[in-house]
C-alpha cells in the first residue's frame, strides 16, 4: 500500500475564493465518459473551470475516491442508476458523465450562507450524501445537501478509511439488520466473504455475537485467506468446492449443533449462480436469502423444494436506492461505522492506492486511473482500488 499524505491547501489570510483561484489551478480534473462501454476504452480525462463560488456553495477537494463494482457497471451502461450527461456546467460541447459515486473531500472554502447554516468550515472533511455526484475528480463546487460532515480527525480515521465506509460496511450492516432479527448465537452464511461487504459483515456480526459461515473461491493461497478472515472474526471459512459437496452439510450441521444449535437464518450473496444455490441449501426453515450482487453473471436458482418445504424467502438489496431515499438514516448508519473504525473494532478492506499529484499531466492522470481500473478488472477483488490526491 502506498503511503498516504494529505496536505492542507495553503491559504493567504483573508483570501476568499478569488484568492484561492490565484493560488491554485482553476481547473478541475475529472474522469468522464461520453458513451457507455468498456471502461478502459471510454474513460477519459476532462479539465474544466470551476464555477464561481456562490453564497450557499462549498468548494471541495477530493482526497480519496474508491472504485466500486457499481461504478464500473455504470460506465458499462448495465447499472440501473444512470448518470446525468452534462455540457455547459463542465465547459464541454459534448455531453459527458462524471464518474464515481463514493469519496471523501476536504472543505476548501464556503459561501457565507453555508458557513452560517450548515457548520461547514475550511479544513473539515465530508463524504457524499447521495450517489451520482461524480467523485473521480480533483475539485468540485458542492451544496450542503451533497455532503455529510465527517466528525473525526485524520488521526482517528484516515481519508481512505472514510472514503470506503459509506458503501461496503453500510451494505453489510443494513443486510444484517433489515431482513432478520439476528440474536447472539444465531448464524448467517455468505458468498464473496473476502469482498469489502463480506469482510465488513464478518466483523459487524462478530461484534454482535453472531456466527458466520463464509464462502470464498478456492485458490492456491486458501489457507492464508482462511486465516485472514478468521482473524476478522469469521466463525468458519469454506471454499465454493466444499460448500458444493452434499456430504459437507453434515459438517455444517455439526458446527451449528456444537455452538448451541441455533439456526442459520440469513444468507447473503454477491455472486449468483451455483454458489448462491449452495448457501440457500444451508438455510434453516424460514430462512432469508438476500442477493446484493451478481459477480458470477449467472441467475439465482433456488430449488422449488426449498420454497415449499423450508419456506425460504428471497430478497434483493440495492444500497443506492436505500441511500438516496433515506439520507438521514444513512448518516446515522455511517456514523455508527465511523465510530467502530475509530475504536479499532472495524478494519477496512485491504487497499491499493493510486496517487494523483500536482505535477502530473492530464495524460499521466488518466494513465494512473486506467491502471487502477485495469487492476480491478483483472481480478483484484478483495482489494479495493482507491484514487488519492496529494
Active site residue ranges: 79
Residue 377's nearest CA partner among 40, 75, 34 is 40
User: 186: which strand partners?
Assistant: none
Q: How far apart are CA 207 and CA 201, in angstroms?
A: 10
Q: Strands of the chain (E only): list them.
A: 27-33, 44-49, 57-67, 85-86, 96-98, 104-110, 125-128, 139-143, 147-149, 187-190, 211-216, 236-239, 264-269, 288-291, 313-316, 351-356, 384-389
Q: Are strands 104-110 and 57-67 parallel, antiparallel or unpaired?
A: antiparallel
Q: How far apart are CA 365 and CA 355, in angstroms?
A: 9
Does residue 143 contact residue 130 with C-beta atoms inside 8 Å? no
What would the grid cell of residue 211 be? 456466527
Q: How far apart are CA 210 and CA 191, in angstroms?
A: 17
Indicate the length of the chain as a whole number: 390
Is residue 138 helix, strand or coil?
A: coil
Amino acid at each position: 500500500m502506498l503511503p498516504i499524505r494529505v496536505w492542507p491547501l495553503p491559504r493567504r489570510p483573508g483570501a476568499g475564493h478569488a484568492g484561492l483561484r490565484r493560488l491554485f489551478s482553476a481547473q478541475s480534473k475529472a474522469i468522464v465518459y461520453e458513451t457507455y462501454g468498456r471502461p478502459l476504452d471510454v474513460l477519459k480525462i476532462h479539465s474544466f473551470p470551476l464555477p464561481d463560488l456562490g453564497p450557499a456553495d462549498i468548494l471541495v477537494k477530493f482526497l480519496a475516491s474508491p472504485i466500486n463494482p457499481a461504478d464500473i457497471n455504470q460506465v458499462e451502461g448495465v447499472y440501473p442508476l444512470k448518470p446525468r450527461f452534462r455540457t455547459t456546467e463542465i465547459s464541454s460541447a459534448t455531453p459527458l458523465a462524471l464518474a464515481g459515486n463514493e469519496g471523501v473531500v476536504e472543505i476548501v472554502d464556503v459561501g457565507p450562507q453555508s458557513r452560517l447554516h450548515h457548520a461547514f468550515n475550511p479544513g473539515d472533511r465530508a463524504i457524499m450524501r447521495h450517489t451520482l455526484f461524480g467523485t473521480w475528480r480533483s475539485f468540485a463546487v458542492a451544496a450542503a445537501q451533497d455532503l455529510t460532515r465527517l466528525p473525526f480527525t485524520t488521526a482517528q480515521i484516515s481519508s481512505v478509511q472514510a472514503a470506503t465506509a459509506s458503501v461496503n460496511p453500510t451494505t453489510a450492516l443494513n443486510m444484517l439488520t433489515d431482513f432478520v432479527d439476528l440474536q447472539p448465537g444465531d448464524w448467517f452464511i455468505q458468498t464473496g466473504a473476502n469482498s469489502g461487504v463480506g469482510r465488513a459483515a464478518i466483523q459487524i456480526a462478530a461484534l454482535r455475537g453472531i456466527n458466520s459461515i463464509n464462502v470464498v473461491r478456492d485458490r492456491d493461497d486458501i489457507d492464508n485467506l482462511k486465516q485472514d478472515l478468521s482473524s476478522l472474526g469469521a466463525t468458519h471459512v469454506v471454499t465454493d468446492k466444499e460448500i458444493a459437496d452434499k456430504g459437507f452439510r453434515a459438517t455444517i450441521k455439526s458446527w451449528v449443533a456444537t455452538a448451541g444449535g441455533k439456526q442459520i437464518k440469513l444468507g447473503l450473496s454477491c455472486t449468483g449462480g451455483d454458489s448462491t444455490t449452495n448457501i440457500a441449501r444451508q438455510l434453516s426453515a424460514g430462512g432469508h436469502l438476500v442477493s446484493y450482487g451478481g459477480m458470477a453473471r449467472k441467475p439465482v436458482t433456488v430449488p422449488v423444494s426449498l420454497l415449499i418445504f423450508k419456506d425460504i424467502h428471497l430478497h434483493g438489496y440495492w444500497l443506492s436506492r436505500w441511500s438516496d431515499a433515506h439520507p438521514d438514516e444513512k448518516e446515522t448508519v455511517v456514523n455508527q461505522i465511523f465510530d467502530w473504525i475509530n475504536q479499532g473494532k472495524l478494519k477496512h478492506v485491504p487497499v491499493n492506492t493510486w496517487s494523483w499529484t500536482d505535477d502530473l499531466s492530464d495524460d499521466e492522470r488518466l494513465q494512473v486511473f486506467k491502471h487502477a481500473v485495469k487492476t480491478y478488472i483483472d481480478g483484484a477483488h478483495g482489494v479495493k482500488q482507491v484514487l488519492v490526491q496529494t
